Structure 1
Amino acid sequence: MFFHVVATFLLFLFLSNPFIGITYANSEGDALYALRIAVKDPNNVLNSWDPTLVDPCTWFHVTCDHHNRVTRLDLGHAKLSGHLVPQLGRLQHLQFLELYKNEFVGPIPKELGGLKKLVSLGLYHNNLTGSIPPSLSNLSNLKFLRVNSNKLSGRIPRELAKLGNLKILDLSHNDLCGTFPTFGSFSKFTEQSFKNNPRLEGPELMGLVRYDDDGLCK
């Protein structure tokens, strides 16, 4: 009986301890602050991102749930420039990552594939380069994938076709090459989703990948 009472008391302390939430908030704050120090911010839209504050939920452009876990990052059209940071992959409860219409350069971090609750990934109208990470195929809750109007190259990962919840796909206006999948979730998208990729040959034929004769699809 004594041990049962002690165990119940310790469980109560664990569940009611505010510092547990603070530790989680600090971890997410560290991830967001890594983005702040990696980018140029001429309009000071990230001024409120103060690493000395315990809770990043008080920062502008950041939305949290009732457990103080970051669920949205809205930084569209903010004139930010620089590289996206892999630390964004630590925001495990993030549902909306909206970084569109900025001047981000460099690759899409493969770590974004760890954002299992992500519903919308908006990276369109930037200057991102490199290939689309196959790890994005792990985003099983993703409904909106928009990376159009960048400088992305290489093949479209066939793994993305397994994103069963995908409703909107826009890979247009890039430098993608090879073919695009026509099975799985990709079967419902038209060529509008892939337009203005000069090196893109068209859809796969009969579910088969057509490879460039010269092997220069990179």
Structure 2
Amino acid sequence: MALQLLVSSLALLVCICPTISTNSEGNALHTLRTRLSDPNNVLQSWDPTLVNPCTWFHVTCDSSNHVIRLDLGNANISGSLGPELGELKHLQYLELYRNNIKGKIPKELGKLKNLISMDLYENALQGTIPKSLAKLKSLKFLRLNNNKLTGSIPRELAKLSNLKVFDVSNNDLCGTIPIDGPFGSFTRERYSSSASANCCLFALTCNILVCIYQFALLILLQYGSQFKIQLSNGFFVCNSVMKTMADSMAPSSKDLYRMILDVEADCICISCRIITCCGELHIQEVYVRP
């Protein structure tokens, strides 16, 4: 009798374990719902008392009742995202585009190791792009364009070898554009589609570059009839008040500029390209000032 009771208990435990796992995903989604304003009641079916969220609208599960897709694009929702999204361990598609979601992108999204597509574009997201997204080794599509993101593009994202589509245009980003890994094939439009957005993003490529220490590079860029001066320090470039002005910085022609570097050590750079979101400059020589 005792043995039969033990077997029955084990059988019951086996049956309920998947439900417990799936309910954790349901709890995460329900927590997300509490953060969102839903005037059109698109989340009305999200009932936490159900066995799992697989019957909820805009949620797709696999054969094991794990949530693999969240489709809330263009749903007229607002609010913010929270760390609970990191509990959706099996999620492959996160579609939250064209809403009015504010706040920061949760760093916990870096836990979604199975994620293939992250579409958060056309919202009002602020803050920086989390470095933790570099952990998403399965990611192929990352679209964060048309938000209010600031800071730089994390260089760690260059490790995403499967990344096919990357779009951060129309934000307030600033800094160097990664040129390694998949970023070598992305077009300029993926960083900025207008002259007023992300304009201080740039990539510097050189045939010969010898630098021992970090240096400050004063860059003169011409946008139409206006000139814009930017300060680059190491890997980052942002609009900034100049601490040191170069002796001279005059363009010798439309596409050829003479630049002055404030250096801590000798720095030689020949046959360079500075690629910005608003254009491309070809530099034959960069002069250094010790």
TM-score between both structures, scaled by the size of structure 1: 0.89
Could you list the runs of 5+ residues in structure 1 that have no partner in the other structure? 1-5
CA contact (8 A) 1:178 1:199 kept: no
Alignment of 1:40-79 (within 5 A): 40-79=37-76
The Cα of 1:209 is off from its aligned counterpart by 2.5
Separation of aligned partners in 2, 1:112 and 1:130: 15
Q: 1:17 aligns with which of 14, 19, 29?
A: 14
User: Aligned letter for 2:201?
Assistant: E
Q: 1:209 aligns with which of 191, 212, 235?
A: 235
Separation of aligned partners in 2, 1:190 and 1:56: 39
Separation of aligned partners in 2, 1:112 and 1:215: 35
Q: Does 2:55 align with 1:29?
A: no
CA contact (8 A) 1:46 1:60 kept: yes
Separation of aligned partners in 2, 1:193 and 1:86: 27
The number of aligned residues is: 209
SS of residue matched to 2:134: helix
CA-based RMSD of the aligned residues comes to 2.4
Structure 2 counterpart of 1:182: 179
Alignment of 1:12-161 (within 5 A): 13=11, 17-161=14-158
Change beyond 3 A, Cα 1:204–1:31? farther
Q: Which structure is higher in RCO with an 8 Å CA cutoff and minimum separation 6? A: 1
CA contact (8 A) 1:181 1:204 kept: no
Could you list the runs of 5+ residues in structure 2 that have no partner in the other structure? 210-233, 243-290
Structure 1 counterpart of 2:254: none
Separation of aligned partners in 1, 2:184 and 2:105: 25
Q: Higher helix proportion, which one?
A: 1
CA contact (8 A) 1:96 1:118 kept: yes
The Cα of 1:21 is off from its aligned counterpart by 1.0
CA contact (8 A) 2:174 2:236 kept: no
Q: 2:188 aligns with which of 179, 191, 206?
A: 191
C-alpha distance after superposition, 1:176-197 (max 9, x if no partner) = 0112111111111111110143
C-alpha distance after superposition, 1:94-153 (max 9, x if no partner) = 000000000000100000010000000000000000000000000000000000000000
The Cα of 1:199 is off from its aligned counterpart by 3.9
The Cα of 1:201 is off from its aligned counterpart by 3.3
Runs of 4+ off more than 4 Å:
none
The Cα of 1:215 is off from its aligned counterpart by 8.3
CA contact (8 A) 1:204 1:210 kept: no
State, as a whole percentage, how many aligned pairs show the same letter. 53
